[in-house]
Amino acid sequence: MSVVECGARSATFSIGGELTVNRLGLGAIHLTGPGSWGDPRDPDGAVRVLRRAVELGVNFIDTANAYGPGVSERLIRSALHPYPSDLVIATKVGQIRAGPDVWLASGRPEQLRAQTEDSLRNLGVERLDLLQLHRVDPAVPLAESLGELGRLQAEGKVGHIGVSEVSVAQLAVARGVVTVASVQNRFNLTDRSSQDVLDAADAAGIAFIPWFPLASSALTRRGGRLARVAKPHRATTAQVALAWLLAYSPVVVPIPGTSQLVHLEENMAAFDVELTAAELASLTARPISASPRLRPVLGKLKRRLQR
């Protein structure tokens, strides 16, 4: 699907046909310490970001057991429990941590079950709204990993199941094992390598949650084509990048992450940016590229941010 074919933007999306969320969520990876390891430098600031996000209308927060590990989930509980009735919290299992910026896929059923129980305790809930397989473990059959998530769902500990960083073929396998409510792959104006997965999710009505939606400084630097689009809207380049994602497909639910209130408020204002059909077509036709100076930095960041 192209952005031009998509039509008017919808303000909400129902994940799994049941969890209705506003289509700008909050990614909670940045609420931990450096390298997604340990406590944040400013725990009180992290709590303020979470509470302000809810005040601004965010009712979808994406986190993971591996963020910290456990730190992000516990901060969410500290800031927001008892939770608003419409708040949807998605978390992920299937990665283990050995240190800052070190991520190891682990899809063994016993590991997934242990992490799920840990997330239930961290978040202070009896059932997880949306539980996503964080990464496909090449050493474990995908059907075996998802089969365990399906058993947890049957036990009432999980509401809906999602997958992350999958191919079209892996998504098809997943859908043969469980009902897949969401797919979380990297997708933004500089990186559309998951276009085929997004197309498959769109066709099936599955939520597509693009992580790394702003591609770091590649989409927020001054100047360039994105800045020229932003200028007449009196918007920032980050807001335009998010507005493009919102218009790209009705199943897309971006989750920009931040630990700063000013960036949170900037990101949430992206829904007020209405790009013209010509602007959308222009941005869609030719991907934004990082400058030669930024490409090595961006490539290194992508390799480290395995999430």
What would the pLDDT profile of 188-210 be if each residue is shown by its tens digit?
A: 999 999 999 999 999 999 999 99
The pTM of this model reads: 0.91
> Which position has the higher pLDDT, 210 or 3?
210
**pLDDT tens string 139-188:** 999 999 999 999 999 999 999 999 999 999 999 999 999 999 999 999 99
Alpha-carbon span 303 to 273, nearest angstrom: 31
- Which value, to the nearest 10 degrees, does the dihedral of the CA atoms of residues 52, 55, 58, 60 take? 80
Beta bridge partners of 94: none
Check if 83 is active-site: no
Q: Which is catalytic among the residues 60, 67, 187, 212? A: 67
Cα–Cα dist 28/30, whole Å: 6
Dist CA 45 CA 14 (whole Å): 30
* DSSP at 32: S
pLDDT of 219 = 67
